[in-house]
Amino acid sequence: DGAAVLPAPQNLSVRSVNMKHVLTWSPVIVPEEIIHYSVEYQGEYESLYMSHIWIPSSWCSPTQRPECDITEDITATVSYSLRVRATLGSLTSAWSTLKHRFNQNSTILTPPRMEITMDGFHLLIKLEDLGPHFEFFVSYWRKEPGAKEHVKVVRPGVLPVYLEMVEPGAAYCVKARTFVKAIGRHSAFSQPECVKVQGEALPL
């Protein structure tokens, strides 16, 4: 019947890094028109027991951008279905559903950025604040043959970290990785960073 049909968004995918999840799709193009999108989700429970019910996303029902931060919608370590549709005035496209369900346990965990400084005779570590999900395993040692490696677990919100008393003239190295209890996974270690303490080494 020649009625205008709005194409459904294509190429849905989720980009998830350090427990921040963003759903993206290819924009629907209609020259000189502004397209709005609506995003909805279903947790595993809904899919199993109430599959006709979808929940509007917190931030993207509607949105004009071809992406949606769904971090606040993913609130359990179960698989989620996600769908998007386009709207132009009274025209609405069909829903496009993410081909593979998304589970936050697939998020990419990157080694944490860190900064090592001295505070008097203390080694001070500033770690990237990645949010309440993240603990840090900080490993540090004195840069000399046979030195013992120490490990410190840093809980969320306990930054910066004082490591230990250091000796003048000595060098110390530090590396760190993140751990996310919600998904039981950790990142790779960051590259070790070393610092030399000012002053003369103490006589033996």
Partner 1 sequence: QEFQFGPCRVEGVVLQKLWQAFWAVKDIVQAQDNITSVQLLRKEVLQNVPETESCHLIHALLRFYVNTVFKSYRDKAVEFGILKSFSILANNFFVIVSKLQASQEKMFSTRKTARRRFLLFHRAFKQLDREAAVTKAFGEMDILLSWMEKFYQL
**In the complex, which residues of this chain contact partner 1 (CB under 8 A)?**
43-46, 49-50, 53, 55, 58, 75-78, 132, 155, 181-184
CB nearer to partner 1: pick between 12 and 180: 180
> Cα 54 to chain center, whole Å?
25
CB nearer to partner 1: pick between 42 and 190: 42
User: SS3 of 46, please?
Assistant: helix
| CB 57, min distance to partner 1, A | 10
| CB 68, min distance to partner 1, A | 15
CB nearer to partner 1: pick between 65 and 155: 155
| Type and span of the H or E element at 139 | strand 134-142
Cα 181 from Cα 20, distance rounded (Å):
15
Cα 109 from Cα 188, distance rounded (Å):
8
| CB 17, min distance to partner 1, A | 19
| CB 31, min distance to partner 1, A | 36
| CB 75, min distance to partner 1, A | 4
CB nearer to partner 1: pick between 150 and 155: 155
CB nearer to partner 1: pick between 43 and 66: 43
Cα 84 from Cα 69, distance rounded (Å):
13
CB nearer to partner 1: pick between 23 and 174: 23
In residues, how long is the chain? 204
Residue linked to tokens 């996303």: 57
| CB 86, min distance to partner 1, A | 23
Cα 19 from Cα 203, distance rounded (Å):
49
DSSP string, 35-104: -EEEEEEE-HHHHHH-TT--EE-SS-SSBSSSEEE-GGG--SSSEEEEEEEEEETTEE---EE-SS-EEG
